[in-house]
Amino acid sequence: MTSDPNDPARLPPRPRPQLARRDLLRGGVWLTVGLGTAPLLAACGNGSSGQAANGGAPYELARPDRPVTLAIKDSNPPIADGLDPETGGTFNILNYADYMAPGVMKDFGKEHNVSVQVTPYNNYDEMLAKIRQPGESFDLVFPGPSVLSKMVYADLVQPLNHSYVPNLRNVWPEFQDPWYDRGAHYTVPYTIYGTGVMYRADRVSSVPEVGYDLLWDQQYSGKVYVLDDRQEAIAMSLLRNKITDDINTSNADDVKRATDSLIQLISLVKVKTDINAYSEVPEGTATVHQCWSGDVIAGQYYLPHGQTPEVLGYWRPQAASDYVIGSDNIAIPKSAKKPVLAHMLINDLLDNKIGLRNFGWNGYQPPLTKLSATYLTDQGYIPKNLANSVVLRSDFAKGLTFYEVSPSTEALWQTNWARFKAGA
């Protein structure tokens, strides 16, 4: 995902020759996408969670209506004030692949004389496995709300020293004191996104009031995709079929009904699953694709030559209270060898200019107050017709979100998802 024209480290401009340009482009895109399509990879913002094997987790489970304060333990204190940043060697980031602008990392490395390296993961299980490896050390990690509590419980992350992160004030006030980490003891926000439907405006004649219905519409058969993510897909079906608003439900009957409706999509529209809406819709492989809002913003850079962003459309629920939203955070692993530098990079990412640059590259919006929908469209980062892909503060306050559930609930959802994926 690339965009910001001012980013010196952006991928080289795509070839624009007359001959078979489109195929060249696709070749380039597919190779990158290939990694995403490869079944080994799951989704960004994919909430995987769990508890103790025997039920009841040994820590408090955070809920939007039951916020938690993650205690700062004596055994795991934050770093002292006023330390000099470390220099030399490598700075190790544990992150989803392609989730931070290479230009931002490169400049940071140059400024502090370190080489910045990214170890990628595809889901939280993999991230946890990597961060827990004995002898391994990482300086930065990106845990979402559903995985944070257990990481604090197991001392995998260290508390932040806010004196190094003055830019936290640039962030939406609600994110300075979020429900999953009161007082931002361990995390600052990285990105926020919503889940909606991206479609080809030039092929879809009218968008129904509930845009999810586009996926159940036979006209688009063969070109309909749901996110390859059990939570997102089943939650969509729960909402579309008005089964329940509780997108973390542990009611077996509700989950079964939602899944049955998803299974209908197989014979109805020959549904496919992947997480590449940002390329499938612009390239026309998909007409309708359930997607994350960040995909919509990145999508404009995957349009074939000669097409403008007007061919794209994004539907999201009108009411914030129906909108599924998610967020990712930045935290510093306990094993960090360069914790001061880690604080500095966190502060950089919350800087309006650097945050904007990073957003321009990956399409995922940082919740910085200055980067409002109006600002981003005025600056040309988002085409006017796609301005609704910007997540608003009211969305975060009222939206629906996935949180950490018990392993039995997780298993219930997974077993149903497997039923859908079996194409039964």
Partner 1 sequence: MPDKPSGHDRATRRLWPALALPGTFWLIALFVVPFYAVMAVAFSGRINIFNEPIPAWNPLDWEFSSFGTVISDSFTPSGAYHEVWVRTAIYTFWALVICVAIGYPVAYYTARLAGRRRGLILALILAPWWINYITRMLAWVNLLQDDGYVNKALGLVGIPPHSWLSGSSFTVVWALAYGYLPYFIIPLFASLDRIDQRLLEASRDLGVGALRTFSHITLPLSRMGLVTAMVITALPMAGDYYTNTIVSGSPNTNMVGNQIELFLLEGPQKNIGAGLVLLLSLVLMFFMFYYLILTQRASREAAR
Task: Summarize as ranges the residues that interact with partner 1 (CB under 8 A).
Answer: 23, 26-27, 30-31, 34, 37-40, 42, 46, 48, 50-53, 57-58, 122-126, 128-129, 132, 150, 153-154, 221-223, 266, 270-274, 284-285, 407, 410-411, 414-415, 417-424
**In this complex, which beta carbon is closest to partner 1, that of residue 129 or of residue 397?**
129
**In this complex, which beta carbon is closest to partner 1, that of residue 155 or of residue 245?**
155
**In this complex, which beta carbon is closest to partner 1, that of residue 50 or of residue 189?**
50
Phi, psi of 162 (to 5 degrees): -65, -15
Least gap, CB of 158 to partner 1 (angstroms): 18
**In this complex, which beta carbon is closest to partner 1, that of residue 107 or of residue 228?**
228
Least gap, CB of 78 to partner 1 (angstroms): 24
**In this complex, which beta carbon is closest to partner 1, that of residue 80 or of residue 424?**
424
Q: What is the sign, positive or negative, of the torsion defined by CA atoms of 123, 225, 392, 231?
A: negative
Least gap, CB of 375 to partner 1 (angstroms): 37
**In this complex, which beta carbon is closest to partner 1, that of residue 274 or of residue 328?**
274
Phi, psi of 166 (to 5 degrees): -60, -25
Distance CA 118, CA 91 (A): 9
Least gap, CB of 304 to partner 1 (angstroms): 10
* Rg of the chain in Å (alpha carbons): 21
Length of the chain as a residue count: 424
**In this complex, which beta carbon is closest to partner 1, that of residue 241 or of residue 285?**
285
Structure tokens at 22: 């489109």
Least gap, CB of 230 to partner 1 (angstroms): 8
Distance CA 35, CA 251 (A): 35
**In this complex, which beta carbon is closest to partner 1, that of residue 123 or of residue 401?**
123
| Residue listed under structure tokens 């039951």 | 66
Among the listed residues 418, 290, 329, 424, the one whose alpha carbon sits nearest the alpha carbon of residue 70: 329
Phi, psi of 287 (to 5 degrees): -95, -40
**In this complex, which beta carbon is closest to partner 1, that of residue 107 or of residue 410?**
410
**In this complex, which beta carbon is closest to partner 1, that of residue 240 or of residue 421?**
421
Q: Which residues of 254-266 are buried (b: 16+ CB within 10 A; e: fewer)?
A: bbbbbbebbbebe
Least gap, CB of 420 to partner 1 (angstroms): 6
Least gap, CB of 84 to partner 1 (angstroms): 35
Distance of CA 31 to the CA centre of its chain: 21
